[in-house]
Amino acid sequence: MINLFDDERLDYLISDDTKQIIQSPTIFSYSLDAVLLAHFTYLPINKGNILDLCTGNGVIPMLLSGRTSGKIIGLEIQSRLVSMAKRSVKLNNLEEQITILEGDLTEKQSELKQSFYDVVTCNPPYFATPKMTEHNQNEFLTIARHEVCCTLEDVIKACKLYVKPGGKVSLVHRPERLVDIITLFRAYQLEPKRIQYVYSKLDKDANTILVEGVRDGKTGLKILPPLVIYKENGDYTEKARNIIYGN
């Protein structure tokens, strides 16, 4: 029996209804961005080592666990989210595959091997908002959404530190940060290899971007076909539905 605290609830993973995850409307609930990143990420199937930074309640490790037999580690700075993630891992009997660590990605973590991981993923804070008046009043949401505990450069520096040469790094972010991402990728020897723009509707500007880089990789960038989430009538497109519901 898993204990739930305050307003925590158990939800089924929308793209894998064989797994449940602990969520909270005031602490943390995963978004579509996590599902898109998990689907976008190339994974070793039979073995390998994967690291998810800013893991939150562990949703990305849990999503990835259905696509690989490799070992997955999630790193999260907020103790409450670490607790939620660990309890979700235990609930789904994934302790042999997924390990959740509490730690700050801006500091070297003794439990993480440097230049070791085949894949590093991250759904980082999106907003570089230095003014306190622009932060969310909820501290948990502020840390998850705003660059108060780590900057984009901190994230990419950590990705480079832990991914092995030839290994892949994949991020989900906002399109307005694309130039920053590519500039920082190259500054830290991560060569951009794949980019996909995500649109809420076909006639709207892109609101999400998925980016993959390879450590010490050769030049050669692919722009993938655009991913549109909604039809004009508000229903999911067939491609989005397949990703979201794991079909």
Domains of the chain: 9-244 (3.40.50.150)
* Confidence grade of residue 224 (pLDDT, cut at 50, 70, 90): very high
Q: Are 153 and 131 in contact (CB under 8 A)?
A: no
* Confidence grade of residue 148 (pLDDT, cut at 50, 70, 90): low
Percent of the chain with pLDDT over 90: 84
More confident residue, 127 or 36: 36
pLDDT higher than 80, residue 197: yes
Angle CA(224)–CA(228)–CA(232) in degrees, nearest 5?
A: 155
pTM of the model: 0.92
Specify the pLDDT at position 1: 73
Tens of pLDDT along 109-119?
999 999 999 99
Percent of the chain with pLDDT over 70: 91
Q: Are 43 and 29 in contact (CB under 8 A)?
A: no
pLDDT higher than 80, residue 131: no
User: Distance from CA of residue 71 to its chain's centroid?
Assistant: 16
CA proximity to 85, closest of 125, 56, 52, 64: 56
